[in-house]
């Protein structure tokens, strides 16, 4: 009996020749996966590195390291490292936003709270490590003042000019809660300073540190409670104005699509944080030398110049959202960032200093504490009616110029006994 040749050919084709079909597909899988991985990496690099014009400043980072080892010009090292960190701070915020798209609003809010001011925290920790407690205090104070006066002032002014025929509105409830937290932070900073300058301590020098550490723990609990309150369904009173009436109109704007993947966002966060920490060390080490070479007070550098590094991203995004008439997001960026620094970053630095054995306290000295108190009062009065216009923005900018001029002529006390 002869077997059917067609059946034999069919079975032969089904099994395939050695090295073909089945063998071919398995050998082709790995090169294709590798090619896709390379394409994703190149696409991610293109999006993160080459889509932001601010990244033109990235070469200043390596240049500052080269200058540190080849010259003794501390002024140039300081300026170059400051310029090099600025785009990294902006990209750090971008990577956090991309990761928040995958994690949802609750975890996204916590991520923004953690990484939103990562640059300020890294610079502060390096300064703490070097025992530069006044630089830590003044740089964090400067970030609060810059966000409340300069960033929000420019946003109100730009939004008011674009929408000059109407008053822009925002949620009063959110503004009141943030103003209350800022006033609580002022209270936490004021009592150690008052205790010191009235010479009414039980133990000279030790009582204000103990009070600062206790107050910092209380402020961290208050901020954690605020985050839980904000993220746990209290959305009716604290949602942006108009969100109830127009649930579907801006759905396309609200539901953003991620430009990079979740693991890509995590990888970029790790790399950017590492590079910021490297440059921060050179920045902090060059502060005192830069003060001498540029003939600028250390207080002016810490309060006015250093916050530019961390607030570049907030400044740009706050103005952009104000021009789009989304003032609730603007307030979230400017006032929200100030609240994070005053209620989370500053107390966190006190606790970290406690662990390091550094006597970091909340006694920011009389001049700085008074400046913060008056600034919070001015901003609270500006926000109480829930309306913004270009005049309010101009007033806030002019207030910041007064603050900057004050720190330009301010000499920091040389010792805590002054």
Model confidence pLDDT, tens digit, residues 45-80: 888 888 888 888 899 999 999 998 998 888 899 999
Instruction: Determine the pLDDT at residue 327.
Output: 87
Structure tokens given for 361? 């306290």
**Torsions phi, psi for 256 (to 5 deg):** -75, 145
Q: For residues 323 and 155, what is the distance between their CA atoms, to the nearest angstrom?
A: 8
Residue 354 has pLDDT above 80, yes or no: yes
Question: Pick the residue with more confidence: 17 or 355?
Answer: 355
**Torsions phi, psi for 164 (to 5 deg):** -70, -15
- Spatial neighbors of 306 by CB under 8 A, at least 6 apart, are 82, 123, 139, 142, 143, 283
Instruction: Determine the pLDDT at residue 107.
Output: 67
pLDDT > 70 fraction of the chain, expressed in percent and rounded: 83
Residue 397 has pLDDT above 90, yes or no: yes
Helical spans, DSSP H, in 286-411: 287-294, 298-300, 306-323, 327-340, 346-356, 365-383, 390-408
Per-residue pLDDT, averaged over 353-357, amounts to 91
Residue 183 has pLDDT above 70, yes or no: yes
What is the chain's percent helix, strand, coil content, to nearest 5? 75, 0, 20
| pLDDT tier, 145 (very low <50, low <70, confident <90, very high otherwise) | very high
Instruction: Determine the pLDDT at residue 146.
Output: 92
Segment 287-304, tens digit of pLDDT: 888 888 888 888 899 899
Q: For residues 141 and 418, what is the distance between their CA atoms, to the nearest angstrom?
A: 20
The CB density around residue 386, as the number of other CB atoms within 10 Å, is: 17
pLDDT > 90 fraction of the chain, expressed in percent and rounded: 24
| pLDDT tier, 250 (very low <50, low <70, confident <90, very high otherwise) | very low
Per-residue pLDDT, averaged over 270-299, amounts to 87
Question: Pick the residue with more confidence: 106 or 30?
Answer: 30
Question: Pick the residue with more confidence: 15 or 136?
Answer: 136
DSSP string, 63-93: HHHHHHHH---HHHHHHHHHHHHHHHHHHHH
Half-sphere exposure of 349 (CA within 13 A, CB side): 32
Residue 19 has pLDDT above 80, yes or no: no
Instruction: Determine the pLDDT at residue 1.
Output: 45
Per-residue pLDDT, averaged over 175-197, amounts to 89
H/E element, 217: helix 206-231
Structure tokens given for 272? 């950017």
Helix (H, G, I), strand (E, B) or coil at 168: strand
Instruction: Determine the pLDDT at residue 391.
Output: 92
Q: Where are the domains of the chain?
A: 52-237+260-409
Which fold does the domain 52-237+260-409 belong to in CATH? A middle domain of Talin 1 (1.20.1420)
Q: Is 199 left (phi over 0), alpha (psi -120 to 50) or beta?
A: left
The CB density around residue 395, as the number of other CB atoms within 10 Å, is: 16
- Spatial neighbors of 352 by CB under 8 A, at least 6 apart, are 125, 128, 360
């Amino acid at each position: 009996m002869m077997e059917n040749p067609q059946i034999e050919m069919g079975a032969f084709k089904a099994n395939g020749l050695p090295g073909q079909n089945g063998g071919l597909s398995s050998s082709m899988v790995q090169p294709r996966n590798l090619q896709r991985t390379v394409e994703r990496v190149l696409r991610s690099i293109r999006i993160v590195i080459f889509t932001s014009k601010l990244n033109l400043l990235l070469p200043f980072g390596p240049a500052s390291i080269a200058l540190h080892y080849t010259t003794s010009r501390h002024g140039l090292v300081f300026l170059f490292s400051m310029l090099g960190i600025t785009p990294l701070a902006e990209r750090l915020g971008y990577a956090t936003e991309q990761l928040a798209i995958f994690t949802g609003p609750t975890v996204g809010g916590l991520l923004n709270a953690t990484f939103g001011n990562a640059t300020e925290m890294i610079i502060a920790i390096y300064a703490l490590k070097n025992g530069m407690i006044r630089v830590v205090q003044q740089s964090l104070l400067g970030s609060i003042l810059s966000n409340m006066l300069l960033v929000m002032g420019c946003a109100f002014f730009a939004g008011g000019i674009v929408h000059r025929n109407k008053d822009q509105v925002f949620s009063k409830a959110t503004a009141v809660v943030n103003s209350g937290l800022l006033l609580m932070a002022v209270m936490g900073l004021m009592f150690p300073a008052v205790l010191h300058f009235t010479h009414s301590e039980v133990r000279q020098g030790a009582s204000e540190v103990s009070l600062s550490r206790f107050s910092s723990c209380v402020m961290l609990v208050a901020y954690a409670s605020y985050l839980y309150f904000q993220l746990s369904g209290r959305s009716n009173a604290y949602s942006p104005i108009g969100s109830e009436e127009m649930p579907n109109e801006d759905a396309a704007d609200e539901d953003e699509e991620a430009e990079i993947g979740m693991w890509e966002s995590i990888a970029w966060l790790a790399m950017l944080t590492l590079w910021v920490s490297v440059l921060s060390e050179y920045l902090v080490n060059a502060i005192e030398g830069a003060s001498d070479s540029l003939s600028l007070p250390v207080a002016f550098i810490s309060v006015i110049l250093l916050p530019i590094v961390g607030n570049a991203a907030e400044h740009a995004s706050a103005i952009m959202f104000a021009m789009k008439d989304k003032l609730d997001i603007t307030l979230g960026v400017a006032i929200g960032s100030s609240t994070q620094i005053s209620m989370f970053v500053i107390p966190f630095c006190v606790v970290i200093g406690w662990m390091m054995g550094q006597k970091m306290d909340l006694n920011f000295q009389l001049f700085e504490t008074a400046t913060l108190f008056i600034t919070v009062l001015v901003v609270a009065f500006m926000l109480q009616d829930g309306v913004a216009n270009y005049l309010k923005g101009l007033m806030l900018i002019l207030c910041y110029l007064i603050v900057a001029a004050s720190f330009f002529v301010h000499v920091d006390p040389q010792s805590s006994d002054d």
